[in-house]
Amino acid sequence: SPQGRSKKRSRKHQRFMARRAVLEQKGLLSPHRHPGSQTPEAGLEAHTELTEANATTAPRCDKVPKPKQTVSPSLSPSASPDSIARHHSVLLSQGNGSSRRVRVSNLVPRPGKYVAIDCEMVGTGPQGKLSELARCSVVNYQGDVIYDKYVRPELPIVDYRTRWSGITKKHMKNAIPFKAAQAEILKILKDKIVVGHAIHNDFQALKYFHPKDRTRDTSQSPALKKRAGLPIRANVSLKNLASHLLHKKIQVGCKGHSSVEDAQTAMELYRLVEVQWEKELAHSLPPRPPSPVTDPAADSSQYLDDQYWPTDLMASSL
């Protein structure tokens, strides 16, 4: 009935007036409202119909438009300014399409897709000339350490190379076997864009090949060399790039390198030229085919079992 609706509006008005009195008492709302000066709390309440004691309806305030979100929801809150700029460029390139969803380009991976790696090696084999993995560090896009372990090589260590590797005999006491470390590290690197300096050495120590289109080697980046004022074809060390571009000193002292510090430095260097690097790669690399759909429960290591080996090969190995 009209009387029931009037009572309902009246109760709603009373609740609003009580809320308004509390806000005025706390100094969050001025007694006399002015357009555009009301608090968010009062602005939300003003969308409701206000009824005075004589059942007249107060004018409804215009709805305040929400500010447009300029950053993709998929962008991490801790993303760098470069990443935000990349996301903005994607949004601008999409124009005024009819789709309201923000589509992130395949060429603009999210920060969670990046990791940087650095490995330290020791000498094994004849005269210690064979390099084997003894420590591996992996950091994320922000430089936080997500993996850092000492690794026991498969062959006896002949040369610890402490001056460069920082590895000593005591580090091998709690080191994990190579196969275990390899499995853990490759699980982290899967489907990631991997940054590193002279990264082919790290992959070689891991006995692993990472897809070229997902590898970012700072030792081969023309953008970094140009920015440092160095020749494009020059072989530049991580230490020199860090000194020229980041104004920091690394790999100092006689205790060897820190693989954590080197991985973090490689990521910092990558982020300096990230936008330009990704843009150049987008024009130079062919489009990557979609990954095949696989059963996540399947474990490829099972195919190393004897039952999957050809019988003739098994016979020849006996």
Whether 63 is in a domain gets the answer no
Whether 34 is in a domain gets the answer no
The identity of residue 194, as a single letter, is V
Whether 4 is in a domain gets the answer no
Q: Give the chain's domain count.
A: 1
Which H helix or E strand runs over 195? strand 193-196
CB contact at 8 A, 110 and 77:
no
Q: What is the band of 4 on the pLDDT scale with cuts at 50, 70, 90?
A: low
- Residue 193's φ and ψ, nearest 5 degrees, are -90, 120
Whether 258 is in a domain gets the answer yes
Residue 265: how many other CB atoms lie within 10 Å: 26
Q: What is the pLDDT of residue 178?
A: 98
- Residue linked to tokens 């350490």: 145
CB contact at 8 A, 137 and 145:
yes
Picking from 204, 249, 188, 239, the residue whose alpha carbon sits closest to that of residue 218 is 239
Whether 295 is in a domain gets the answer no
End-to-end CA distance of the chain: 95
Whether 304 is in a domain gets the answer no
Q: Which of 178-187, 215-224, 287-296 is predicted least confidently?
A: 287-296
User: pLDDT of 149-208, one tens digit each?
Assistant: 999 999 999 999 999 999 999 999 999 999 999 999 999 999 999 999 999 999 999 999
CB contact at 8 A, 256 and 166:
yes
- What mean pLDDT is reported for the chain? 75
User: pLDDT of 28-57, one tens digit each?
Assistant: 666 655 444 444 444 444 444 433 444 444
CB contact at 8 A, 143 and 264:
yes
Q: Report d(CA 245, CA 265) in Å as an integer.
A: 10
The identity of residue 304, as a single letter, is L
Domain interval for residue 259: 114-284
Those residues with Cβ within 8 angstroms of residue 119's Cβ, 6 or more apart along the chain or in another chain: 133, 135, 136, 137, 201, 202, 205, 206, 259
CATH of the domain at 180: 3.30.420.10
Whether 74 is in a domain gets the answer no
Tokens of 144: 């936080």
The pTM is what? 0.58
pLDDT higher at 62 or 9:
9
Whether 318 is in a domain gets the answer no
Tokens of 13: 């008005």
